[in-house]
């Protein structure tokens, strides 16, 4: 049963606009589009509210809400990224650019007739529970709407996480979300902090534009090439998962491929990993090792202190630096709703499958995952399950009432036996194959 929060203050009744039992979908990025499509197909009335004047969210390059840069391509292959019922065109390359991704998302909205359900230029300021049981959605223009339910789908890669180091840096410092083109790096001595996929990509771009590039890493990582014998690396991994190859053997085979294609990290000047393969979010990069091996990128440990024009590292080395790019990830932030409403525990919402509130039946979060492969197909499955649950409750189906109890009492295992390194980077990490199978199993039961 849904729990009402009587402590939240309702908006003035005079400002409230009834929305006739609709759901409010927040955001028209990749997750919001998936929810909109599945709600439309299931006959669930909704409004999709998008703050920008275009769809795409993070993939709408140049918009304030977008954190991608001009050279951004997919990290996962098109076949393991695309929506479940709308394949990317055959003529797309295996790793499409952001321009092609935006074209694909626009085609998706065209194909399923989503545009008429998206209200552009409609930023949400506040979401709160009304005493009547509805959700009050206050827009930035002051309008307040009463909705039956809410699906938060605005993404979690937008609020930069910036590390704090002693001292002061006198040069240019920016987060990877602010980085757009290599002009800011040209002819400079550049330090990239963080060894995730964005950090490695920016370091590679810096290597061909900057005067000198340093790359600071807290630990060593395993690096997978983008292709193996012409096949995208993640499709090779997917084949092994479908063949039920055990984890230990997948590690052996993947390590062999890495050693053949790139060599062991420590052989080419990269730090030796301090964890087993797959225990961190996969880094897919074929060029970092090349530039490190050619001396274009100098690997550094963590920063100890910022010293004006210099940076002191934990190994005692010191380098003059003009520009620091912090590729240090994002905080999980939903500023328009109280954390208590999201069952917040520790550093993240505690939701079943990262989607379902244990006690609310009218509040969902879509896309709150960090999978080890493509995401949009997984979010499509999340949205299918949300739609099946909502319609099942409305129809009084026994399967929906079973799931209502199930999400209150069960904790989903999202790692398939993998012990992820404890870090903010892995707060939302899921093993995509078993996660997708669980979503598909529940969709079948609720449908």
DSSP β-bridge partners for residue 326: 175, 193
Write down the pLDDT at residue 412.
81
The Cα 13–Cα 11 span in angstroms is 6
Q: How confident is the model at residue 265 (pLDDT cuts 50, 70, 90)?
A: confident
Three-state SS for 361-409 is: CCEEECCCCEECCCCHHHHHHHHHHHHHHHHHHHHCCHHHHHHHHHHHH
Q: How confident is the model at residue 1 (pLDDT cuts 50, 70, 90)?
A: very low
Write down the pLDDT at residue 313.
98
Write down the pLDDT at residue 4.
33
How wide is the angle at C-alpha 311 spanned by C-alphas 305 and 313, nearest 5°?
65
294, exposed or middle or buried, with CB in 10 Å at 0-12, 13-18, 19+?
Answer: exposed
- Please state the φ and ψ torsions of residue 99, each to the nearest 5 degrees: -65, -45
Residue 99: C-alpha distances to residues 27, 102, 109 (Å): 20, 5, 16
Residue scoring higher pLDDT (157 or 357): 357
Is a pLDDT exceeding 80 seen at residue 302? yes
Query: What percentage of the chain carries pLDDT values higher than 90?
Result: 83
Q: How confident is the model at residue 90 (pLDDT cuts 50, 70, 90)?
A: very high
Q: What is the mean pLDDT of residues 208-232?
A: 94
Write down the pLDDT at residue 421.
85
In 10 A of CB 254, how many CB atoms?
Answer: 20
Rg of the chain, C-alpha, whole Å: 23
The residue among 274, 197, 282 whose CA lies nearest residue 233 is 282
Q: Worst-scoring range by mean pLDDT, 53-62, 65-74, 417-426?
A: 417-426
Query: What percentage of the chain carries pLDDT values higher than 70?
Result: 96
Three-state SS for 154-182 is: CCCCCEECCCCCCEEECCEEEECCCCCCH
The residue among 225, 210, 347, 372 whose CA lies nearest residue 284 is 225
Q: How confident is the model at residue 7 (pLDDT cuts 50, 70, 90)?
A: very low
Write down the pLDDT at residue 15.
57
pLDDT digit string (tens) for 208-219? 999 999 999 999
Chain position carrying tokens 């904790």: 411
The Cα 388–Cα 104 span in angstroms is 26
Q: Chain-wide mean pLDDT for the chain?
A: 93
The Cα 294–Cα 291 span in angstroms is 5
Write down the pLDDT at residue 131.
86
Record the tokens describing residue 267, joined without a space: 């052989």
Write down the pLDDT at residue 18.
67
The residue among 327, 315, 320, 317 whose CA lies nearest residue 170 is 320
> Are residues 354 and 428 in contact, defined by beta-carbon separation less than 8 angstroms?
yes
Write down the pLDDT at residue 16.
61
> Are residues 324 and 169 in contact, defined by beta-carbon separation less than 8 angstroms?
yes
pTM score, whole prediction = 0.92
Write down the pLDDT at residue 5.
36
In this structure, the strands spanning 348-349 and 227-228 are unpaired
Residue ranges and CATH numbers for the domains of the chain are 13-159+330-446 (3.50.50.60), 162-326 (3.50.50.60)
Residue scoring higher pLDDT (265 or 392): 392
Q: How confident is the model at residue 417 (pLDDT cuts 50, 70, 90)?
A: confident
The Cα 67–Cα 49 span in angstroms is 20
> Are residues 33 and 375 in contact, defined by beta-carbon separation less than 8 angstroms?
no
Write down the pLDDT at residue 6.
31
Is a pLDDT exceeding 50 seen at residue 12? no
Q: What is the mean pLDDT of residues 90-117?
A: 98
Is a pLDDT exceeding 70 seen at residue 227? yes
The Cα 129–Cα 134 span in angstroms is 6
List of residues 6+ apart from 215 with CB closer than 8 A: 191, 192, 195, 199, 200, 203, 292, 297, 298, 299, 300
């Amino acid at each position: 049963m849904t729990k009402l929060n009587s402590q939240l203050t309702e908006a003035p009744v005079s400002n409230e606009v009834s929305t006739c039992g609709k759901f409010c979908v927040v955001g028209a990025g990749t997750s919001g589009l998936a929810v909109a499509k599945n709600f439309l197909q299931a006959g669930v009335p909704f409004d999709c509210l998008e703050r920008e004047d275009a769809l795409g969210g993070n993939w709408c390059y140049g918009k304030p809400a977008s954190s991608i840069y001009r050279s951004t391509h997919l990290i996962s292959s098109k076949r393991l990224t695309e929506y479940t019922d709308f394949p990317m065109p055959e003529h797309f390359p295996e790793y499409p650019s952001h321009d092609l991704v935006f074209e694909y998302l626009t085609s998706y909205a065209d194909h399923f007739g989503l545009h008429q359900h998206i209200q552009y230029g409609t930023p949400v300021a506040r979401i709160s529970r009304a005493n009547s049981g509805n959700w009050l959605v206050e827009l930035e223009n002051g309008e307040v709407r009463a909705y039956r339910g809410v699906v938060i789908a605005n993404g979690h890669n937008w609020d930069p996480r910036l590390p704090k180091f002693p001292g002061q840096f006198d040069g240019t410092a920016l987060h990877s979300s602010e980085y757009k083109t290599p002009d800011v790096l040209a002819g400079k001595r550049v330090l990239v902090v963080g060894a995730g996929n964005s950090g490695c990509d920016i370091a590679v771009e810096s290597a061909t534009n900057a005067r000198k590039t340093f790359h600071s890493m807290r630990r060593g990582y395993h690096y997978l090439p983008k292709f193996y014998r012409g096949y995208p690396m993640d499709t090779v991994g997917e084949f092994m998962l479908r063949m039920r190859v055990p984890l230990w053997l997948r590690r052996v085979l993947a390590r062999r491929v890495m050693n053949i294609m790139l060599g062991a990290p420590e052989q080419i000047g990269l730090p030796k990993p301090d964890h087993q393969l797959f225990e961190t979010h996969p880094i897919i990069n074929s060029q970092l090792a090349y530039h490190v091996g050619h001396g274009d990128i100098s690997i550094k440990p963590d920063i100890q202190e910022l010293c004006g024009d210099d940076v002191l590292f934990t190994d005692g080395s010191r380098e003059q630096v003009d520009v620091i790019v912090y590729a240090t990830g994002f905080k999980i932030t939903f500023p328009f709703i109280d954390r208590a409403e999201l069952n917040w525990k520790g550093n993240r919402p505690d939701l079943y499958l990262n989607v379902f509130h244990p006690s609310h039946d009218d509040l969902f979060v879509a896309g709150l995952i960090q999978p080890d492969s493509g995401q949009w197909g997984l979010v499509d499955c999340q949205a299918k399950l949300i739609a099946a649950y909502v319609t099942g409750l409305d129809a009084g189906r026994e399967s929906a009432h079973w799931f209502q109890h199930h999400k209150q009492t069960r904790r989903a295992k999202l790692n398939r036996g993998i012990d992820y390194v404890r870090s903010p980077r892995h707060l939302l990490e899921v093993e995509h194959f078993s996660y997708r199978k669980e979503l598909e199993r529940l969709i079948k039961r609720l449908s």
